[in-house]
Structure 1
Amino acid sequence: MPRLENTIDIKVPVNIAYNQWTQFETFPNFMSSVLQVKQLDDSHVWWQVEIGGHAIEWETEIIEQVPDDHIAWRSVSGPRHLGLVSFKHVDIHATRVHVEIEYEADMKAEVSATMTGLLEQKISEALTCYRQLLESRKRPAGGWRGRIAVGTDNAVRH
């Protein structure tokens, strides 16, 4: 499976960067290709995005979530992929956000390479917009501090 990675430093404390990321329904505010997101429950999220002029939708399951550290997910419908976003304390006023996404490429190699380049660009643009959003506000739109453990079906609220 092709793997995409991108990292960005944001001038906000780690809890602010993490809390904003947990507000999935706000993703269209900083991800131009995301049309709509619905949080179905603590660990399931429905996505609708536009790629190449086509609306595509899928559902993801959060398989692990540790506040101020990371969120891991996998698709349960639609295009097969899995991902991880991690949040690392740089200093009291800065956080390093790292995104990793692996996806199944079920297309010809040349189309897959073009798609990978497009996705890399979209992720880079989204992270830049995410940084601008947070650095201009200095606070998240909310936050979910629950924990989801690997191999469980239940989210644990803290």
Structure 2
Amino acid sequence: MSTLEEHIDIDVPADTAWDCLHRVEAYPRFLDGVREARTEGDNRAHLDVDALGHTREVEIEIIDRGGEKVMMWQTTSAPDLAGTFALLPIDGEHTRIQARFEYDPGTIKEVFGGPRGFAQAAAIERGVRSDLQQFKALAERER
């Protein structure tokens, strides 16, 4: 497994960012490649994701540690992916979001295409940074 960690500071309180992060239906607005998303039960979500020009259905389980403002997620169907979002209050109006993404490079190549090796890691890093920038814009706009 490979691990990628990124963070971004946003200009909203941690509670506002937490609420925005939990609006599953808004995921297509900030997660590149997610065409549609919906909640399925208390701790599950269904995502329709663009994979090599086709829609692939992905089920995820979400585990919250709300008191700590940590959201962990894990796919329950292929591909095997996992991650964590941790919200760290900077002050009353600013929050740092730390994102951690765990993946198997071979699985990413097989399911989503793209380059291999270092080029793949760089592409995933750019994608995660872009998703975080889009989340920042969404959370700050909907504040």
Residue 36 (structure 2) pairs with residue 36 (structure 1): yes
Unpaired runs of 5+ in structure 2? 110-114
1:119: which partner in 2?
A: 124
Aligned mates of 1:39, 1:117 — CA distance in 2: 31
2:112: which partner in 1?
A: none
Q: How many residues align?
A: 137
The share of aligned pairs that are identical, in percent, is 26
Aligned to 2:106, the other structure's residue is in SS state: coil
After superposition, the C-alpha distances for 1:26-55 in whole angstroms (9 at most, x for unaligned) are: 111122311111211111111122244343
The structure with the greater share of residues assigned to helix is: 2
Residue 58 (structure 2) pairs with residue 53 (structure 1): no
1:62: which partner in 2?
A: 62
Structure 1 residue corresponding to 2:139, chosen from 134, 137, 145: 134
Offset at residue 112 of structure 1 (A) = 4.6
Residue 87 (structure 2) pairs with residue 82 (structure 1): no
Offset at residue 68 of structure 1 (A) = 5.9
Query: Superposition RMSD on alpha carbons, in Å?
Result: 1.9
Aligned mates of 1:17, 1:69 — CA distance in 2: 10
Offset at residue 116 of structure 1 (A) = 2.8
Aligned to 1:135, the other structure's residue is in SS state: helix
- Point out the more displaced range, 67-76 or 3-12: 67-76
Unpaired runs of 5+ in structure 1? 139-158
2:23: which partner in 1?
A: 23
Aligned mates of 1:45, 1:65 — CA distance in 2: 17
Aligned mates of 2:51, 2:118 — CA distance in 1: 15
| One-letter amino acid matched to 1:124 | R
Aligned mates of 1:111, 1:23 — CA distance in 2: 33
Query: TM-score, normalised to structure 1's length?
Result: 0.78
Aligned to 1:106, the other structure's residue is in SS state: helix
Aligned mates of 2:95, 2:62 — CA distance in 1: 22
